[in-house]
């Protein structure tokens, strides 16, 4: 315990937890101008996105805008990424709808409060994980499982928006339930809504694929063409809103966003009802982990391009603060979004101040622009969601994992099927459990190679793959796995198989170059193997035991009880034991 803490170390600790203090000291006029430009571009992109993701989560449109203001500012203070744009994102909004749909009906007051409570719980979980330095838990989601989950979520999200394109009611949190519900209500389809919705979708697809090449051919610069492409959703919103207003389409069955309060984010309170908190805890945990994984991947990808570092545990704190902010200002769970962060980065954002400026832009929009979205058709928002999420859908992960590793393939296939069939929570849980289970299964039956000396070297290799020297009195087995409880019995059986019957065998060497741990169960197995081989008059030797494993073995009785020796290298063991065999014969 240090009795005093110097001012400078206290300041540096503070800077660690509040990165704002760090980057703000070198803030220049040029940085300000870059950050402002990026903020304008992201704000324009974010207005329709925020409304759309609120719709996806089953919440009133203003919740999307509120969720993009205070959370962004809090992340700017506590987060470590310089380009991450925090707010509502597609997958987390879908998970929010699935979670709170189980505890309240969409459109009720209870539903909005449940969304605040879910954000509060997610924030608390993220903050706790950050303080306890549990960021590594995100590693339990393998890349293929994440890829499969995102693909399946993209399909689910697109399917959930079809009701807005058709102008009919529908519900369900699995693909089958959604499609069934759509088919049941297909008769009520609103023709005008369908025309608007399909038109907006087609336009947005064309903007995404066809506009940029067209503009480039027309001589427009790359950057301007890029911005025009990004402004596609805004154009679709403006045109369809104007059409609906001008032609009075809302009277012809086209659902519109309607009146949105002109207000800064209100001060709200989540519910602290223990029963509700208990019901939402597991969903909040899954949302936190999925949100964190999505956010940290983007943050690390962008940071690597500028040789910056991301601190995962501090990111948990930044995202936790953002979610707590959402809970107390009328929002719902948020995280760092992929597309908006890339836009922010490409637009030149240099510090989290760009995020704060975006928040200011959205605050102005919340106060001044909300009357303009009265006639905005929900079908247009649905179209922007569909076009955005279909770019997440990528089934190539199935082929890639099939080619490379069947275990990974099964994990990703199960994740996709269960997400589509049973919903997001079942899908991601199954993916994690299956990945871990398959890994344990593989390590329970490890690869074991009998090895021999590669002639002219001191290197030992598998007798079945290489031409190597062996001796009938000395058997060297290289077990390609840590020895631990899951495979302790396997090792005993293996040695028994290899030493049974009439054999000239005098020495067994376990080459431990791939043994990274020997736990207590495996230690007991080794002691039992040693006893059995002693009875058979066969020596048991270990070679190439790693430092940390050896440190631990020194605390056990094995080293005293072992009937053979421990050799530093397999070559030493080989030379010594083959010589010992030859000498009595000579």
- Least distance to its own copies, CB of residue 250, Å: 48
Of the candidates 351, 313, 355, 335, the residue with the CA atom closest to the CA atom of residue 21: 351
Residues 22-81 binding its own copies (CB under 8 A) are none
- Least distance to its own copies, CB of residue 356, Å: 29
**By CB under 8 A, is residue 449 in contact with its own copies?**
yes
CB-based contacts of 492: which residues, under 8 Å, 6+ apart? Answer: 525, 528, 529
**By CB under 8 A, is residue 506 in contact with its own copies?**
no
Candidate residues 532, 576, 578, 580; the one interacting with its own copies per rule CB under 8 A:
532
**By CB under 8 A, is residue 188 in contact with its own copies?**
no
Residues 324-383 binding its own copies (CB under 8 A) are none
**By CB under 8 A, is residue 462 in contact with its own copies?**
yes
Distance CA 488, CA 563 (A): 20
Identify which range of 233-241, 348-356, 419-427, 446-454 contacts its own copies by CB under 8 A: 446-454
Burial of 99 (0-12, 13-18, 19+ CB in 10 A): buried
* Length reported for the chain: 586
Candidate residues 440, 455, 561, 579; the one interacting with its own copies per rule CB under 8 A:
440
**By CB under 8 A, is residue 205 in contact with its own copies?**
no
The torsion angles phi and psi of 147, rounded to 5 degrees, stand at -60, -45
Candidate residues 33, 262, 457, 503; the one interacting with its own copies per rule CB under 8 A:
457
**By CB under 8 A, is residue 128 in contact with its own copies?**
no
Asked if 271 and 112 touch (Cβ cutoff 8 Å), the reply is no
**By CB under 8 A, is residue 400 in contact with its own copies?**
yes
Shorter beta-carbon distance to its own copies: residue 519 or 576: 519
- Least distance to its own copies, CB of residue 462, Å: 5
Identify which range of 81-89, 251-259, 359-367, 486-494 contacts its own copies by CB under 8 A: 486-494
**By CB under 8 A, is residue 519 in contact with its own copies?**
yes
**By CB under 8 A, is residue 484 in contact with its own copies?**
yes
**By CB under 8 A, is residue 467 in contact with its own copies?**
no
- Least distance to its own copies, CB of residue 481, Å: 5
Distance CA 293, CA 95 (A): 14
Asked if 268 and 329 touch (Cβ cutoff 8 Å), the reply is yes
- Least distance to its own copies, CB of residue 482, Å: 8
3-state helix, strand, coil in the chain (%, to 5): 65, 5, 25
The torsion angles phi and psi of 541, rounded to 5 degrees, stand at -125, 155
Q: Residue 289, by phi and psi: left (phi above 0), alpha (psi -120 to 50) or beta? A: alpha
**By CB under 8 A, is residue 516 in contact with its own copies?**
yes
CB-based contacts of 397: which residues, under 8 Å, 6+ apart? Answer: 144, 147, 148, 151, 412
Tell me the angle at which helices 70-78 and 312-328 cross, rounded to the nearest 10 degrees: 150
**Structure-block tokens of residue 254:** 């086209």
Identify which range of 162-170, 195-203, 240-248, 456-464 contacts its own copies by CB under 8 A: 456-464
Identify which range of 153-161, 356-364, 445-453, 467-475 contacts its own copies by CB under 8 A: 445-453
- Least distance to its own copies, CB of residue 10, Å: 26
- Least distance to its own copies, CB of residue 129, Å: 14
**By CB under 8 A, is residue 292 in contact with its own copies?**
no
Shorter beta-carbon distance to its own copies: residue 23 or 410: 410
Shorter beta-carbon distance to its own copies: residue 131 or 436: 436
**By CB under 8 A, is residue 461 in contact with its own copies?**
yes
Candidate residues 552, 566, 580, 581; the one interacting with its own copies per rule CB under 8 A:
552
The torsion angles phi and psi of 152, rounded to 5 degrees, stand at -65, -40
Identify which range of 9-17, 22-30, 120-128, 454-462 contacts its own copies by CB under 8 A: 454-462
- Please spell the DSSP secondary structure of 139-150, one letter per residue: GGS-HHHHHHHH
* Total site size for its own copies, rule CB under 8 A: 68
Identify which range of 59-67, 283-291, 316-324, 481-489 contacts its own copies by CB under 8 A: 481-489
Q: How many CB atoms lie within 10 A of CB 36?
A: 17
Count of alpha carbons within 13 angstroms of residue 197, beta-carbon side: 25
Of the candidates 336, 380, 331, the residue with the CA atom closest to the CA atom of residue 65: 331
- Least distance to its own copies, CB of residue 71, Å: 25
Task: Enumerate the β-bridge partners of residue 448.
Answer: 479
Shorter beta-carbon distance to its own copies: residue 108 or 516: 516
**By CB under 8 A, is residue 569 in contact with its own copies?**
yes
Asked if 522 and 556 touch (Cβ cutoff 8 Å), the reply is no
Candidate residues 73, 94, 407, 474; the one interacting with its own copies per rule CB under 8 A:
407
- Please spell the DSSP secondary structure of 160-192, one letter per residue: HHHHHHHT-----SSHHHHHHHHHHTGGG--HH
**By CB under 8 A, is residue 458 in contact with its own copies?**
yes
Identify which range of 38-46, 111-119, 225-233, 483-491 contacts its own copies by CB under 8 A: 483-491
Distance CA 321, CA 167 (A): 37
**By CB under 8 A, is residue 278 in contact with its own copies?**
no
Asked if 62 and 264 touch (Cβ cutoff 8 Å), the reply is no
**By CB under 8 A, is residue 444 in contact with its own copies?**
yes
Candidate residues 171, 189, 339, 405; the one interacting with its own copies per rule CB under 8 A:
405
Asked if 65 and 369 touch (Cβ cutoff 8 Å), the reply is no
**How far is the CA of 168 from the CAs of 190, 374, 379, in angstroms?**
7, 20, 11
Candidate residues 31, 271, 571, 576; the one interacting with its own copies per rule CB under 8 A:
571
- Least distance to its own copies, CB of residue 480, Å: 4
CA Rg value for the chain: 31
Distance CA 162, CA 227 (A): 28
**By CB under 8 A, is residue 503 in contact with its own copies?**
no
**By CB under 8 A, is residue 208 in contact with its own copies?**
no
Distance CA 421, CA 415 (A): 10
The torsion angles phi and psi of 40, rounded to 5 degrees, stand at -65, -45
> What are the residues binding its own copies (CB under 8 A)?
136, 139-145, 304, 307, 400-401, 403-405, 407-408, 435-436, 439-447, 449, 454, 457-459, 461-462, 465, 480-482, 484-490, 496, 500, 513-517, 519-521, 523-524, 532, 546-548, 552, 555-556, 568-569, 571
């Amino acid at each position: 315990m240090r009795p005093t803490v110097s001012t400078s170390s206290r300041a540096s600790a503070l800077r660690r937890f509040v990165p704002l203090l760090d980057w703000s000291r070198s803030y220049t006029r040029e940085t300000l101008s870059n950050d402002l430009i990026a903020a304008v571009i992201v704000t324009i992109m974010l207005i329709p996105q925020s409304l759309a993701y609120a719709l996806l989560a089953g919440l009133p449109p203003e919740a999307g805008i509120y969720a993009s203001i205070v959370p962004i500012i809090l992340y700017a203070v506590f987060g470590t990424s310089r380009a991450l744009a925090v707010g509502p994102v597609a997958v987390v909004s879908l998970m929010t709808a699935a979670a709170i749909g189980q505890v309240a009906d969409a459109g009720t007051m209870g539903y909005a409060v449940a969304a605040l409570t879910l954000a509060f719980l997610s924030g608390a979980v993220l903050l706790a994980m950050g303080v306890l330095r549990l960021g590594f838990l995100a590693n339990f989601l393998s890349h293929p499982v994440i890829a499969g989950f995102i693909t399946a979520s993209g399909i689910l999200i697109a399917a959930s928006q079809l009701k807005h394109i058709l102008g009919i009611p529908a519900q369900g949190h699995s693909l089958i339930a959604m499609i069934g519900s759509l088919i049941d209500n297909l008769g009520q389809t609103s023709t005008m809504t369908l025309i608007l919705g399909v038109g907006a979708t087609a336009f947005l697809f064309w903007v995404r694929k066809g506009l940029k090449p067209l503009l480039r051919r027309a001589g427009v610069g790359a950057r301007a063409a890029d911005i025009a492409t990004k402004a596609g959703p805004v154009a679709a919103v403006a045109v369809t809103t104007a059409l609906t207003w001008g032609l009075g389409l809302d009277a012809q069955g086209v659902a519109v966003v309607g009146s949105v309060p002109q207000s800064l984010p209100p001060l709200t309170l989540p519910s602290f009802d223990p029963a509700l908190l208990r019901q939402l805890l597991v969903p909040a945990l899954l949302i936190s982990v999925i949100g964190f994984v999505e956010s940290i991947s983007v943050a690390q990808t962008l940071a690597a391009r500028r040789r910056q570092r991301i601190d995962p545990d501090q990111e948990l704190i930044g995202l936790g603060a953002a979610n707590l902010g959402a809970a107390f200002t009328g929002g719902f769970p948020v995280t760092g979004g992929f597309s908006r962060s890339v836009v922010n980065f490409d637009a030149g954002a240099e510090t989290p101040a760009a995020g704060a400026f975006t928040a200011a832009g959205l605050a102005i929009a919340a106060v001044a622009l909300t009357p303009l979205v009265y006639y905005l058709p929900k079908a247009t928002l649905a179209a922007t969601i569909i076009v955005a999420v279909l770019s997440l859908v990528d089934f190539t992960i199935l082929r890639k994992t099939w080619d490379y590793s069947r275990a990974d393939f099964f994990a990703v296939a199960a994740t996709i099927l269960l997400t589509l069939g049973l919903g997001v929570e079942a899908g991601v849980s199954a993916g994690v459990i299956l990945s871990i289970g398959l890994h344990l299964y593989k390590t329970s039956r490890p690869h074991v190679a009998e090895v021999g000396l590669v002639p002219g070297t001191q290197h030992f290799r598998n007798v079945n793959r290489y031409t190597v020297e062996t001796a009938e009195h000395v058997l060297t087995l290289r077990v390609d796995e840590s020895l631990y409880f899951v495979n302790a019995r396997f090792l005993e059986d293996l040695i028994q198989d290899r030493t049974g019957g009439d054999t000239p065998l005098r020495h067994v060497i376990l080459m431990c170059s791939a043994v990274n741990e020997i736990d207590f169960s495996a230690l007991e197995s080794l002691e039992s193997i040693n006893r059995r081989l002693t009875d058979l008059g066969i020596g048991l030797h270990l070679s190439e035991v790693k430092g940390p494993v050896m440190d631990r073995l020194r605390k056990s009785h094995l080293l005293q009880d072992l009937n053979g020796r421990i050799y530093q290298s397999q070559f030493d063991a080989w030379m010594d034991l083959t010589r010992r065999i030859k000498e009595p014969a000579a």
